[in-house]
Chain A
Amino acid sequence: GQQVMQIPQYQHVQEGEDFTTYCNSSTTLSNIQWYKQRPGGHPVFLIQLVKSGEVKKQKRLTFQFGEAKKNSSLHITATQTTDVGTYFCWNRDDKIIFGKGTRLHILP
């Protein structure tokens, strides 16, 4: 079956720097959902992308879905300490595959 891989697994950035995590699929995806899990918390739904080339923004967060619908990215501009956590990408149709996510650490 299709598999969604996420990179990097860990990222340390200085507060104020930008951060990007990528999800890559071996096959075309009908959709991508992004979630954030704070340390000790549970995943929280951020956004869903369904259209080729789609770009959505939430304040400092920019989500993109590739033209071929095989990859997606989440970019955070000027990170803050509140951005700490693990960011997951997930293909809604294939719940069996749920990437390990990218753990973001912010250095003060």
Chain B
Amino acid sequence: KAGVTQTPRYLIKTRGQQVTLSCSPISGHRSVSWYQQTPGQGLQFLFEYFSETQRNKGNFPGRFSGRQFSNSRSEMNVSTLELGDSALYLCASSLADRVYGYTFGSGTRLTVV
């Protein structure tokens, strides 16, 4: 069974640009969460979607947004990129909300220059 797929794996963007990251969860998984990981801050929760509805949102500025489609695929968008947005962005999916463990994708490494 295919795992959680995140695309692209690596991305280099310039300050001020915007970026869209994609996450395809495991088939049948309806819960998708996004995390930002940096060496200094560790793993920080961005948002969580369940059946196309945003269930929870972390403490990030409005430049960070996301959505989930009817097929459970999810995208996150960061507008007006800043140098501090450079990080590994991880997506995780679960069979059902608040019941099972999460399966993480390999992440998208975003570098803002």
Contacts and interface: CB of A to CB of B under 8 A. Distances in A.
A42 B101 CA distance: 14
SS class of chain B's interface: helix, strand, loop or mixed? strand
Given A42-B90, A42-B105, A92-B98, A98 B42 contact: yes
Nearest to A31: B98
B12 to A, nearest CB: 18
Contacts of A99: 42
Contacts, number: 48
Say which size band chain B's interface belongs to.
20 to 34
A80 interface: no
A42 B106 contact: yes
Interface in B69-113: 90, 92, 98, 100-107
Nearest to A98: B43
Most chain-A CB neighbours within 10 Å: which of B43, B48, B58, B107?
B43
A98 B33 contact: no
Given A43-B104, A101-B42, 7 more contacts: A43-B92, A47-B101, A48-B100, A93-B98, A95-B56, A98-B35, A98-B42
Interface of A: 33, 35, 41-48, 88, 92-93, 95-101
